[in-house]
């Protein structure tokens, strides 16, 4: 996800950190503690990765209309080592990429 696409998705999903700060690409990278809390909230089986099912659940909980499509797009864009799930680094790299 890049540029306007990312911003649009963030607006649609209301993807906010627990502190209420939006994850954006304007140098507002959240601190490690916030990243960990946010990641852990989605990584419900605590295996250190966000899988398709977890991401789908997250988007569903945010009321995303076509969660499956957004999940597929997110994984496609962010899964740098192509193992089908997102590590914290992959996840936040994608969300904060400009």
Interface residue list for Ca ion (CB under 5 A): 43, 45, 47, 49, 79, 81, 83, 90
Which C-beta is closer to Ca ion: that of 45 or that of 66? 45
Beta strands in the chain (DSSP E): none
Least Å from the CB of residue 82 to Ca ion: 7
Least Å from the CB of residue 74 to Ca ion: 11
Q: Determine the longest span between alpha carbons in the chain, in angstroms.
A: 32
Which C-beta is closer to Ca ion: that of 11 or that of 41? 41
Buried b (16+ CB within 10 A) or exposed e, 31-66: eeeebeebbeebbeeeeebbbeebbbbbbeeeebee
Least Å from the CB of residue 76 to Ca ion: 11
């Amino acid at each position: 996800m890049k540029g306007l696409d990312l911003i649009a998705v963030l607006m649609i999903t209301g993807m906010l950190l627990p502190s209420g700060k939006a994850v954006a690409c304007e140098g507002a990278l959240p601190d490690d503690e916030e990243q960990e809390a946010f990641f852990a909230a989605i990584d419900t089986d605590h295996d250190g990765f966000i899988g398709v099912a977890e991401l789908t659940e997250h988007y569903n909980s945010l009321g995303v209309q076509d969660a499956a499509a957004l999940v597929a797009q997110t994984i496609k864009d962010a899964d740098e080592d192509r193992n089908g799930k997102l590590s914290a680094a992959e996840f936040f790299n994608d969300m904060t990429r400009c």
